Structure 1
Amino acid sequence: MNEQSDNPAADLEVPEQLRYSDDHVWVDDSLDPAMIGITEYAVDQMGELVYVDLPEVGERVEAGDEIIELESSKAVQPLVCPVAGTIAYVNRDVSDDPSVVTTDPYGEGWMLKITLDDDEPDLLDAEQYRGLLRKIE
């Protein structure tokens, strides 16, 4: 455990039930429609979010599309969608109060729900994502 304390990213929460992209986006594909948000690592890197520009419900997206603009005190960054499908719901609470993403990225801070085109998106499981985090810092 001591070796992990040298790498703050290795100590971040990585829920087992979620799947992850290399761009630090999580997907809960056990739900239908699937839920998408950003990881605790992404939140830590961005700092306090001040603005979130969500896509429109009904919009069709491809994996790799930049679908959400995230603005923080440090940067403006797009969220790259790791899956293809159709936007079914957006979390208006996130656009009204972006700090909910900072305080609860895996819960109330979810960003959108998407009806997936592919039942098996190419994502990392929790252990693979932890391995990615260990390599980062």
Structure 2
Amino acid sequence: MSFDVPTDRRYLESHEWAHEQDGTVRVGITDFAQDELGDVVFVELPAEGDVLSKDEQFGVIESIKAVSDLYAPVSGTVTAVNARLVDEPELVNEDPFGDGWMLELDPSDVDELDDLLSPDEYETQIF
């Protein structure tokens, strides 16, 4: 089986992705993770303004198969959450790297991204 691993992101071993653009880091879960979970039925996310630390649990994702914790790839302040996921959690399955994004952070240290897995390292982990 083949999974999409965009090369413009960094990855956590726990299957979250981080995409830095214009000083903001957008976060979601990977194609592999959504496939492992199965049909996503609920996503719990933090509030805008919450301050997260790298590797801290920021939410929960629930599928028909499992409940999994979600972890912050970098430290920072939550500047946006994907409110569509409240009513449309299936977006995580349909478009995990696009419409299924979860939150955006104003990173306190953008260099923390360097500690995450590269696309090649992440591919090695899942294949």
Short-chain TM bin: over 0.9
1:9-59 Cα deviation digits (max 9, x unpaired): xx2000010110111000001343210000011101111110111100000
Cα pair 2:74 2:110 within 8 Å, conserved: no
RMSD: 1.0
Equivalence for 1:73: 64
TM-score by length of 1: 0.87
83, 88, 93: which is aligned to 1:97?
88
Amino acid at match of 2:119: A
Amino acid at match of 2:118: D
Is it true that 1:115 corresponds to 2:106 in the alignment? yes
| Secondary structure of residue in 2 paired with 1:15 | coil
Unaligned segments of structure 2, at least 5 residues: none
Cα pair 1:50 1:73 within 8 Å, conserved: yes
Aligned length: 125
Deviation >2 Å, runs of 4+ = none
Equivalence for 2:118: 125
Unaligned segments of structure 1, at least 5 residues: 1-7
Q: Which has the larger radius of gyration?
A: 1
What is the CA-CA distance between 1:65 and the residue it aligns to? Answer: 1.1
| Secondary structure of residue in 1 paired with 2:58 | strand
| Secondary structure of residue in 1 paired with 2:21 | coil
TM-score by length of 2: 0.94
Cα pair 1:54 1:95 within 8 Å, conserved: no
1:88-131 Cα deviation digits (max 9, x unpaired): 00000112210011000000000000011112121111111111
The structure where strand makes up a greater share of residues is: 2
| Secondary structure of residue in 1 paired with 2:96 | coil
